[in-house]
Amino acid sequence: MATTTGALALPRRYEGGVLKWLGTTNHKNIGILYLTTAFVFFLVGGIEALLIRVQLGAPDNTLLSPETYNQIFTMHGTTMIFLFAMPILVGFGNFAVPLMIGARDMAFPRLNALSYWLFLFGGLLLYSSFLLGGAPNAGWFAYAPLTGTQFSPSHGMDFWALGIILTGLGSTAGAINFIVTILNMRAPGMTLLKMPLFVWQMLVTTFLILFAIPSLTVDAILLFLERNFGAPFYVASQGGDPLLWQHLFWFFGHPEVYILILPAFGIISEVIPVFARKPIFGYGAIVLSGIAIGFLGFTVWAHHMFAVGLSPIADAVFSLDSVIIAVPTSIKIFNWIATLWGGKINVKAPLLFAIGFIAMFIVGGLSGVSLAMVPVDFQVEDSYYVVAHLHYVLFGGTVFAIFAGFFYWFPKMTGRLLSEKLGRLQFWTMLVGFNLTFFPMHLLGLMGMPRRVYTYDAGQGWTLPNLIETVGAFIIAIAIGIFLHNFFASLRKGQPAGDDPWDAQTLEWATSSPPPAYNFAVIPVVHSRRPLWDQKYPAQAGGEPAPAAQTPTLPEGERPAIHLPGGSLNPVLLAFGLLLAAYGLIYTPWLIAAGIVIVFAGIIRWVLERR
Amino acid sequence: MVKYLKVFSILVYVALLAGCAGGPAVLSPASPGAGQIHKLTSLVFWIALAVFLVVEGLLIYAAVRFSRRTEDSMPKQTRGNRRLEIGWTLAPAIVLVVVFAVSLRTLRLVAYQPSATTAAGNVIHVRVVGHQWWWEFDYPDLNIVTADDMHVPAGAVVDLQVESADVIHSYWVPQLGGKIDAIPGHTNQTWFQATQAGTFQGQCAEFCGVEHAKMRLEVIVEPADQFQAWVAQEQAPIPTLTGVAAQGQQAFLGGACVGCHTINGTQAQGKVGPNLTHFASRKMFAGATLDNTPENLARWLANPQAVKPGNKMPDLNLTDTQISELVAFLESLK
């Protein structure tokens, strides 16, 4: 159904309301779906974190039983990684990448929608476990043999495996979509080395997803086969090996953390130049270091396994690779500082969060380097020191970058600015709360407190740091509350943003806020890395005499002849069929059959659909 | 502002550090191996602190110094500086390689070497077995099987063979050295030299199920003569008992206890739970989470599930009489 209007191009009967959203294939709408859904999961994961912190706020606390606590921390990790951080970064990618490369949409719009629905349904499947016999309780990393039916008899781990498989399918499909889009649909003149850095980091990230997520999907399938069909992969007594799980899992798990940080690097690499009002310092180094991190990220997985009894030589090799990865990472940090250096910095909320990101990521990076040293890791592995490290890079890093992205792109998505005052209040509150919560954890690890413990003894000396951390967690909660207030208030009556409120540099700011469904009336021709900036400030174009990007507008009332993909309900249908089949795998073959029928119906309708 | 927060955080750290008696376990080594790791940790810490102060300082300086103060808003559009970029690629690489080399040396010093332990004059071999949720200690050369407390003589090299009876656990006594996982189907080897007398706390460091938080142990390093006395005590048969204790012995041997527990020289040969032969000589029980007192033991026997929910010992619905008999029995097994 090809129609061209300012609104989403759906057959009339789909316009508006729930059906519009169920059938959307527009990258901006899908991006918004990802962002809002992932943010809801962030709030849920945050509540789980608060429960953990209240339970640990006092020794021998009885707020949560050990079984409940173990489900809560398992779901906290699983939610934050698979249902918040990955999808929200993909959400930014979905919204911004086609705009930044001058395209009208992703290469495969329906596949894009399918990725979203698989994410949502995978998340709902996971959370339904709370009502269906108990949530998964063996940690987000689900080490065998604890995850086998002998030690985890309830269905919790089956929900975990199937939820991971569903969301993983969505991620893999999304990765293919991004790679094809970025490699094939850039505007004329935009060579790879003229792409915005956010697009570069998304490209590397989606290659990581393409190679890492299938490893996790296979692990989860093997686990499901072991639990339900007696397959012997991870059980020693049947000839299997628990370490097989760890190798397969961390082969995914380490690239996963780069999947979580590279898009954040990309957001920071967009925000800092715009607010410093100069180009990124060392564009080429940022590109190369991103590729290096992506590649090296696959060679370090066993640094999560230093204590399992690998030979010292194996330990040393993985240690060396882990140390080497610190080099491209530190290059980026210096490049960002050098970008700020000599700038005329416009200190607004996106920039505050970006600076906070760099400041916190430096701490997380340093603790990461300490963990790469095997003997140090022998002591602090699986202790609160690691919890400190991972939260400095994932919260101090990724979450701060996500808020930088929110404050940066919210005007483009909605046409209104978020409140600057509330943004600053949130930033400082979050910074204080975050450091209070996670800095003492370095100390707790050195004091011998292991991870994943539901309580501790008053005599162990861990009480005061834990109490401070609990207070800090509630300060973070206040900061999030400030953001929510800011978000809803600004949606309704925020200051109108205009097309380019930040005087930015890349193509998405050359459209209206929000952009029309077709993004650009005429696809721009690109001649530089900062097409919009060079168009606005030709004198600053640094001696490049070529004409800057063209984003002409058409005469009033005239409609461009643009073919846009119409909406389609087949993605949500197909995802729903897979969801039914997943429940069927736990409960009854009838549901598997029903699910498969719906999946096939969806595929056939998809193939025959007239575009 | 951010810099002040960083300083504040560091002060909090130092305050907490000063607040704990003797400092954090990892930084209070009681063995040469733990000492080597402590030295490396300190080196890494000081270098990291220096890097932190420099880089964080540059960041904050840049953010403050170059903030736009007027509406004049076009800075020099610098794109890069080849020499600077090469410099800040090489400098971290060199620092990292140096620290890595030091870490390799430390790794060689702390890694398990079978030749080193057999060559040492005074070696104690212990088989450490992780169970959900307690630690078993088996001294094959001494014919001793016990739980929760590991006694070793001061000065000895302790050679540990670490195994698991069920899921993955991790043996960790931070003051004595790094950790090693206990993995079903694998045997891992580690060691430490007990140069300092004292009692050192340990805890399972790999999530192993519902009561992972309560799977602790103590290593008791004592002078050689005390250790020999302990060995003799553990190797001795159980005493002949009279009175309430003897009634308790009857209750034990005639009840469900024998299905899970061993008492050497009796028909109680269960291997599921800890060996209780010299239970009264232990400082702690229940995964080293409870002090070994008659009150605690009575509470445990009355309902183990209330004390450590999910643990493998069921509630046996014992009467008060049975409980006091069993307590008398177990507390006389010195």
In a 10 Å sphere around its CB, with 0-12 CB exposed, 13-18 middle and 19+ buried, how is residue A209 labelled? Answer: buried
Question: Given this model, what pLDDT does residue B13 score?
Answer: 57
Nearest to B88 among A331, A436, A460 (CB): A331
Best residue in A374, A431, A432 for a mutation probing chain B (most B CBs within 10 Å): A374
Residue A44 has pLDDT above 80, yes or no: yes
Tell me the backbone φ, ψ of residue B160, rounded to 5 degrees.
-110, 130
Hey, what's the torsion of the CAs at B43, B46, B48, B51, to 10 degrees? -130
Average pLDDT, chain A: 93
Question: Does residue A4 fall inside a structural domain?
Answer: no
The stretch B200-211 carries a mean pLDDT of: 97
Classified as helix, coil or strand, A503 is coil
Angle, CA A218 vertex, CA A216 and CA A223 arms, to 5°: 95
Contact indicator for A374, A334 with CB cutoff of 8 Å: no
Q: Judging by DSSP bridges, how do beta strands B144-147 and B180-182 pair with one another? A: unpaired
Q: Do B59 and A453 touch (CB under 8 A)?
A: no
Residue A247 pLDDT greater than 70, yes or no: yes
Evaluate whether residue A607 is within a structural domain: yes
* pLDDT single digits (tens) B1-35: 555 555 555 665 555 554 445 689 999 999 999 99
| CB spacing of B179 vs A341 below 8 angstroms | no
Per this entry, what is the length of chain A? 611
DSSP annotation of B145 reads E
**Mean pLDDT, to the nearest integer, of A190-210?**
98
For the domain B243-330, what is the CATH code?
2.60.40.420
Rounded to a whole number of angstroms, the distance from the CA of A89 to the nearest CA of chain B is: 25
Alpha carbon separation from A602 to A1, A176, A605, A609 (Å, rounded) = 17, 20, 5, 10
**What one-letter code names the amino acid at A164?**
I
pTM score > 0.90 for this model? yes
Q: Who contacts A589 (Cβ-Cβ below 8 Å, separation ≥6)? A: none
In this prediction, residue A540 carries a pLDDT of: 72
Q: Is A367 at the interface with chain B, CB within 8 A?
A: yes
> What is the structure's pLDDT at A564?
81
Residue range A109-128: average pLDDT? 98
- Write down the domain spans for chain B: 2-66+81-110, 115-222, 243-330
CB B7 within 8 A of CB B147: no
Q: What is the pLDDT of residue A12?
A: 42
Contact A277, A344 (CB under 8 A): yes
Chain A residue numbers with beta carbons less than 8 Å from the beta carbon of B161 are: none
The alpha-carbon gap from B234 to the nearest alpha carbon of chain A, in Å, equals 28
CA-based nearest residue to A502, from A430, A428, A427, A410: A410
Range 118-137 of A in CB contact (< 8 A) with B: 137
- How far apart CA B280 and CA B272 sit, in angstroms, is 20
- For residues A454 and A52, what is the distance between their CA atoms, to the nearest angstrom? 8
CB contact under 8 A, B75 and A316: no
| B2-66+81-110 against B243-330: fold identical | no
A458 and A364 in a common domain: yes
CB spacing of A465 vs B177 below 8 angstroms? no
Mark yes or no for CB contact A447/B20 under 8 Å.
Answer: yes
Q: With a threshold of 0.90, tell me whether the complex ipTM lies above it.
A: yes
Of A65, A138, A375, nearest to B36 by CB-CB distance is A375
Task: Please report, rounded to a whole number, the percentage of residues in chain A having pLDDT higher than 70.
Answer: 94
- ω before B133 within 30° of 0 (cis)? yes
Nearest C-alpha of chain A: how many angstroms from B242?
37
pLDDT band at B232 (very low <50, low <70, confident <90, very high): very high
Of residues A555 and B295, more confidence is placed in B295
| Secondary structure (DSSP) of A264-307 | HHHHHHHHHHHHHTSPPTTHHHHHHHHHHHHHHGGG-GGGG-GG
Residue B223, preceding peptide bond in cis (omega within 30° of 0): no
CA–CA distance, B135 with B330 (Å, rounded to integer): 19
CA B331 and chain centroid, separation: 26
In a domain, A19, yes or no: yes
Regarding whether A235 and A176 lie in a shared domain, the answer is yes
Q: Return the pLDDT at A291.
A: 97
Instruction: Name B181's bridge partners.
Output: B170
Do A151 and A44 sit in the same domain of this protein?
A: yes
The answer to whether the CB atoms of A376 and B103 lie below 8 A apart is yes
Going across the sheet that includes B149-153, the strands are: B149-153, B216-222, B198-203
Please report the pLDDT score of residue B3 as a whole number: 56
Q: What is the mean pLDDT of residues A233-260?
A: 95
Measure B251 CA to nearest chain A CA, in Å: 31
pLDDT (0 to 100) of residue B19: 45
Q: Are residues A144 and A289 in the same domain?
A: yes
φ/ψ of B262, rounded to 5, equals -110, 135
Do A502 and A587 have their domain in common?
no
The pLDDT tens digits of the residues spanning A602-611 come to 999 999 987 6
Domain boundaries, position A329: 12-550+560-568
Cβ-defined contact of A447 to B25 (cutoff 8 Å):
yes
Q: What is the pLDDT of residue A348?
A: 95
pLDDT at B113: 83
Work out the mean pLDDT of chain B and round it to a whole number. Answer: 92
Residues 6+ apart with CB under 8 A from A500: A509, A510, A532
- For B135, phi then psi, to 5°, come to -110, 130
Q: Is the pLDDT assigned to residue B182 strictly greater than 50?
A: yes
Do A50 and A148 fall within a single domain? yes
Find residues 72-101 of chain A whose CB sits inside 8 Å of chain B: none
Residue of B nearest to A73 (CA): B207
Paired with B201 in beta bridges are B218
Total domains in chain A come to 2
* A600 and A542 housed in the same domain: no
- Maximum Cα–Cα distance for chain A, whole Å? 77
pLDDT digits (tens, 9 = 90+) for B114-155: 776 667 678 999 999 999 999 999 999 999 999 999 999 999
Tens digit of each residue's pLDDT (9 = 90 or more) over A366-385? 999 999 999 999 999 999 99
Q: What count of Cα atoms within 13 Å lies in the side-chain half-sphere of residue A238?
A: 13
Residue A400 belongs to a domain? yes
The CA distance from A490 to B291, in Å, is 58
Q: What is the pLDDT of residues A491-548, one digit of tens each?
A: 999 999 999 999 999 999 999 999 999 999 889 999 999 999 999 998 876 554 444 4
Question: Which pLDDT score is estimated for B68?
Answer: 82
pLDDT at B16: 53
* Residue A480 and residue A597 in one domain: no
Residues A297, A371: one domain?
Answer: yes
- Any idea which architecture B2-66+81-110 has in CATH? Orthogonal Bundle (1.10)
- Does the CB of A345 have a partner CB in chain B at under 8 Å? yes
Which residues of A are less than 8 Å from B67 in CB distance?
345, 347
* Model pLDDT, residue A2: 38
Backbone CA torsion sign across A175, A179, A185, A189:
positive
Q: How many residue pairs from chains A and B have C-beta atoms closer than 8 A?
A: 294
DSSP state of B75: -
DSSP β-ladder status, B123-131 and B157-164: parallel
Q: Is A324 on the interface with B (CB under 8 A)?
A: yes
Q: Is residue A1 part of a domain?
A: no
Q: Do A138 and B63 touch (CB under 8 A)?
A: no
- Cβ-defined contact of A242 to B110 (cutoff 8 Å): no
A16-41 residue pLDDT tens: 688 889 999 999 999 999 999 999 99
Give the best residue of B212, B214, B299 to mutate against chain A (max A CB count within 10 A): B212
- Which one of B5, B11, B77, B283 would you mutate to disrupt binding with A, by most A Cβ within 10 Å of its Cβ? B77
Q: What's the mean pLDDT in A401-422? A: 97
Among A66, A323, A324, the residue with its CB nearest the CB of B309 is A66
* Residue A241 is assigned to a structural domain of this protein: yes
In this prediction, what percent of chain B has a pLDDT beyond 90?
87
User: What pLDDT digit, counting tens, does each position of B269-282 carry?
Assistant: 999 999 999 999 99
Residues in chain B: 334
Tell me the percentage of chain A whose pLDDT exceeds 90: 90
A458, part of any domain: yes
Asked if B179's CB is within 8 angstroms of A381's CB, the reply is yes
Instruction: Tell me the pLDDT band of A339, cut-offs 50, 70 and 90.
Output: very high
Indicate if the alpha-carbon torsion angle B155, B159, B165, B166 is positive or negative: positive
Q: How far is B217 from chain A (nearest CA, A)?
A: 13
In a domain, A274, yes or no: yes
Give A347 to chain B, closest Cα distance, Å: 7
Whether residue B178 has pLDDT greater than 90: yes
Residues 418-477 of chain A with CB under 8 A from chain B are 428, 431-432, 435-436, 439-440, 442-443, 445-448, 450-457, 460-461, 464-465, 468
Considering only CB atoms, which chain B residues are within 8 Å of A277?
68, 73-75
What are the respective helix, strand and coil percentages of chain B, to the nearest 5?
45, 20, 35
Mutation target vs B (from A152, A154, A347, A376; most B CBs, 10 A cutoff):
A376
A283 touches chain B (CB under 8 A): yes
Residues A502-518 have pLDDT tens digits of 999 999 999 999 999 99
Helix (H) or strand (E) segment spanning residue A18: helix A17-23
Q: Say whether pLDDT at A3 is over 60.
A: no
A609 in the same domain as A471: no
For residues A487 and A599, membership in a common domain is answered with: no
Instruction: State whether residue A343 sits within 8 Å of chain B by CB.
Output: yes
Q: Which residue has the higher pLDDT, A565 or A200?
A: A200
Backbone angles phi, psi at A495, to 5 degrees: -60, 135
Residues A452 and A584 in one domain: no
Query: Which CATH number does the domain housing residue A55 bear?
Result: 1.20.210.10
Closest chain A residue to the Cα of B24, Cα to Cα:
A447
| CATH, domain range B115-222 | 2.60.40.420
Q: Is the pLDDT of residue A556 over 80?
A: no
- Which segments of chain B are extended strands (E)? 123-131, 134-139, 144-147, 149-153, 157-164, 169-171, 180-182, 188-193, 198-203, 216-222, 284-285, 290-291
